[in-house]
Amino acid sequence: MRNLRLNSDSRRAARGDRAGALIRTGRILSRLGYLDEQFCQVEDLQDEASPNFAEEVATLFFKDSARLISNVEQALEKYPKDFNRWDAYMQQLKGSCSSIGASRMKSECMSFRDYCGQGNVEGCMRSFHKVKREHGALRQKLEAYFQLLRQAGPAGAATRPGM
Amino acid sequence: MASRKGLGDEGSAPVPHVLAVDDSPVDRAVIAGILRSSRFRVTAVESGKRALELLGTEPNVSMIITDYWMPEMTGYELLKKVKESSRLKEIPVVIMSSENVPTRINRCLEEGAEDFLLKPVRPADVSRLCSRVLR
């Protein structure tokens, strides 16, 4: 009986640890500016019919944004100083970032577009590098966050951190 | 194309069917999710061309919500085609855009758009809009 109680206590402690990790991860993502209120709006659309809606949208985002980043990369290579074209491609990526609440990535996209407006090639290249870096960082952090959510289960979803 | 059935009970009024048009898969998913959470039946397509094909076969679309900037056919061009059609012109059309360009907004409203929403679209925006347009 004592062993059962210990096992039960251990399980409770583990759930508590996971819930705590989930809350800390969520707050970090928000406090560091990776995600804004729009992500909360997406998470709030989850219900019994679509319990993993936010993760599904995130998956769509990373697939689509990888394609859009590739478009920009090819445009930078094939169409030198074609700022209108570069801007048009980046506008699509920026829009996608807005829709999921990827605020740091969006900020770098806007920076790139500003440099396009100035006709500043070096500035465009620098900010594009930052866009890619933010993209990678966000993917890592969101994957960790959703993994924690899965581990926490329905109870964890109920204690999902408000961002 | 993603479709979600309405949740109306048998015998009750039909659930409004909203056609969402956006070339961005992320935006399509989000707008479909917002509409679904408001208990609408949703069909989401990726282009104006697909939207017109669907409108040709689906008799009961209650509202169209479309992105402005899309390749091949913009939301404005889709709006014009809908309003030029005697069969489709009564369907309310809402335009979405990430850019706040007054001339663009006015042009759409003058062409008969019901409303113009700025992206990212929020559930509260859609809820207010649908309450006004559909109920």
pLDDT tens column, A7-62:
666 666 566 666 666 666 666 677 678 899 899 899 999 988 898 999 999 999 99
The minimum CA-CA distance between A74 and chain B, rounded to whole Å, is 19
pLDDT of res. A15: 61
Listing DSSP states for chain B in one string gives -EEE---PPTTSPPPPEEEEE-S-HHHHHHHHHHHHHTT-EEEEESSHHHHHHHHHH-S---EEEEES--SSS-HHHHHHHHHH-TTTTTS-EEEEESS--HHHHHHHHHTT-SEEEESSPPHHHHHHHHHHHH-
Across the interface, of B26, B37, B69, the residue whose CB is closest to A64 is B26
The minimum CA-CA distance between A66 and chain B, rounded to whole Å, is 13
Taking contacts as CB-CB distances below 8 angstroms, the residues of chain B near A71 are none
Q: ipTM for the complex?
A: 0.83
pLDDT of res. A33: 81
DSSP bridge pairs for B64:
B19, B93
pLDDT band at A111 (very low <50, low <70, confident <90, very high): very high
Taking contacts as CB-CB distances below 8 angstroms, the residues of chain B near A100 are 26, 30
| Average pLDDT of span A66-93 | 96
Taking contacts as CB-CB distances below 8 angstroms, the residues of chain B near A42 are 30, 33
DSSP state of A49: S
Taking contacts as CB-CB distances below 8 angstroms, the residues of chain A near B120 are 38, 41, 98-99, 101
Which residue of A43, A44, A45, A62 to mutate against B (max B Cβ within 10 Å)?
A45
For B37, name the nearest residue in chain A, comparing CA atoms only.
Answer: A45
State the Cα–Cα distance between residues B76 and B105, nearest whole angstrom.
Answer: 10
Give every residue of chain B whose pLDDT is below 70, as ranges: 1-12, 135
CB-based contact A98 B120, cutoff 8 Å: yes
Is the Cα dihedral A39, A63, A29, A125 positive or negative?
A: negative
pLDDT of res. A27: 66
State the Cα–Cα distance between residues B55 and B49, nearest whole angstrom.
Answer: 10
CB-based contact B26 A45, cutoff 8 Å: no
Segment 82-121 of chain B within 8 Å of chain A by CB: 98, 119-120
* B39 shares contact with chain A (CB less than 8 Å): no
Phi and psi torsions of A11, nearest 5°: -65, -40
Taking contacts as CB-CB distances below 8 angstroms, the residues of chain B near A53 are 33
DSSP state of A50: -
pLDDT of res. A100: 94
State the Cα–Cα distance between residues B135 and B122, nearest whole angstrom.
Answer: 19
Mean pLDDT value across chain A: 85
| Count of pairs with CB atoms under 8 A, one residue in A, one in B | 55
